[in-house]
Amino acid sequence: MTAPAPVAVRMTGISKSFGGIRALDNVDFEVLAGEVHALLGGNGAGKSTILKVLNGVHVPEEGNIVVGGQPLAAHTPEAARAAGIAMNFQEMSLIPTLTVAQNIFLTREARDARGMIDDADSIRRAQAIFDMLQVQVDPVALVGDLGAGQKQLTEIAKAISQKARVLILDEPSTALSVSDVERLFVFLRQLKAEGVAIIYVSHRMDEIARIADRATILRDGKHVITAPLADLPIDVMIEHIVGKKSKGLADVARGDATRGEVLLELSAVTGPHKPEEVSFALHRGEVLGLAGLLGSGRSALARVIAGIEPAIAGEIRIKGQKVAIRRPADAIAKGIALVPEARATQGIIPAHSVADNMVMAVVGRISPRGFVDRARVRAITDDMIQRLSVKTASRDHAVSTLSGGNQQKVVIGKWLATEPEILILDEPTAGIDIGSKAEIIRLVRDLARSGKGVIVISSELSELLTACDRILVMADGRAHQMLDRAELDDPSETNPEHALQAAERRLQVEIQKALSIKEAEHG
């Protein structure tokens, strides 16, 4: 007689909030022993949060967790590990100054007869894991010297070395080659046969379709559906992930772009790591979107254009003139401004005032005799506060006192003060509430209308679709397709929310298609 597979993890009624934002709302999640369970959802759906709750990093406000029939003793990483849960943390749990083997067995080192750490044993066991996975990673290399793919393999090796009953893999394949992913899958199937429960998070639906038995989809912190993969073809999955759009974004009128001259032109531009041979043209008055998953080369392309990681091949032209961009200062001098991804560390100095932040990029220009012209600081700041409708108590208040959306406006204002013609925004709405998101996107539209060329990078497709006139789909460092925004619209659909939803599904399909082209090339 074959009993039904026992339940490995049962999470019921889990709720968790961060600063008033409900990241998880009464979510149920159940994983069986001996299955690969895919966890799916868009950005901010709550995938990472629920995994961190399961792993003891976050303490839930409500709900309980049963692992292998036993309620979890405490919400700490140690308790989760004692219950047999292991997770890879997307490079978060590796220490750069230790070796690969030392990292894999950190706090679980083998001891010799005198109780001393036996590194030789760790090296042997690490090598055995890599041999089993048939991948080449040097156990004695320092983690800080490794590339992204090798780090990811080290993370995975660390997770599986714990011989866990529940193995959580959070985006394990973002930096892996196709053949490495294939070998990982072979190994996961072995673990599955041994009765290990595997929770697999990925944005790549082709991978999910190949490895997962069942899937749970989350959206906006809520449980949407749990079903066998056979009942979830890719278009149904996408439909559940996208769901109904909240108003906010759908209301933003795109209006018509009046495309002017070509401002920026790339031909076969290749960066030090990514991108590879990317070509496109950006016109005055348009917003160009870059779509693709993490690791597709979107941000790398932005860094190449902004001179942070200068191009190693190809040609960049600005208004028809060939230019060499070797340093960020070159790009700024050519009228290019990059609003970077990590607002808090790369965009603003939180403790400094709104005014000090706004003029940070133009201090040289407003200090004629070595002294900062305070009247001009006030003029620039007040102009930007008004133009971008920044909500701040005064120009002298610290930026840290502003909301996320208004902080982002300060960063945008800081770069607008350099009077750029080409503005690149990398994830401009990350961590911002929906109302401010719509406002930022309106601002982007206005900037284009005023004659600038704007490039927007975003993981939130509905945002790209709202903001952009054209969208470049990227995968694996390459540009795959330039989509006209209008092509994604269904002219018969009159309800703006449904129209945006339908367009997002189409864009999702194109992104997934671009990934499968890569598979075919390598396959």
The residues binding other proteins (CB under 8 A) are: 57, 77-78, 81, 89, 92-98, 102, 106-107, 109, 111, 115-117
Give the chain's radius of gyration (CA, Å).
25
Cα 361 from Cα 339, distance rounded (Å): 12
CA dihedral 339, 343, 346, 349 (to 10 degrees): 120
Q: Which is nearer to other proteins, 98 or 132 (CB)?
A: 98
Q: Which is nearer to other proteins, 24 or 159 (CB)?
A: 159
Three-state DSSP class for 267? strand
| Residue in the structure block whose two tokens are 């599904």 | 505
State in angstroms the smallest separation of the CB of 115 from other proteins: 8
Q: Which is nearer to other proteins, 42 or 310 (CB)?
A: 310
Q: Which is nearer to other proteins, 57 or 517 (CB)?
A: 57
State in angstroms the smallest separation of the CB of 501 from other proteins: 37
State in angstroms the smallest separation of the CB of 19 from other proteins: 20
Q: What are the DSSP calls for 328-365, one per residue?
A: HHHHHHTTEEEE-S-IIIII--TTSBHHHHHTGGGTTT
Q: Which is nearer to other proteins, 93 or 481 (CB)?
A: 93
State in angstroms the smallest separation of the CB of 399 from other proteins: 23
Q: Which is nearer to other proteins, 155 or 207 (CB)?
A: 155
State in angstroms the smallest separation of the CB of 139 from other proteins: 15
Q: Which is nearer to other proteins, 112 or 490 (CB)?
A: 112
Residue 263 sits at the vertex; the CA angle it makes with 346 and 357, to the nearest 5 degrees, is 25
* Count of Cβ atoms closer than 10 Å to residue 255 Cβ: 11
Q: Which is nearer to other proteins, 76 or 127 (CB)?
A: 76
Three-state DSSP class for 174? coil
State in angstroms the smallest separation of the CB of 91 from other proteins: 8
State in angstroms the smallest separation of the CB of 61 from other proteins: 22
CA dihedral 295, 299, 304, 308 (to 10 degrees): -110
Cα 124 from Cα 104, distance rounded (Å): 12
Q: Which is nearer to other proteins, 79 or 502 (CB)?
A: 79
State in angstroms the smallest separation of the CB of 277 from other proteins: 29
State in angstroms the smallest separation of the CB of 305 from other proteins: 24
Residue 112 sits at the vertex; the CA angle it makes with 106 and 114, to the nearest 5 degrees, is 115
Whether 481 and 443 have beta carbons less than 8 Å apart is answered as no
Q: What is the 3-state secondary structure (H, E, C) of 364-408?
A: CCCCCCCCCCHHHHHHHHHHHHHHCCCCCCCCCCEHHHCCHHHHH
| Token pair listed for 129 | 């894991």
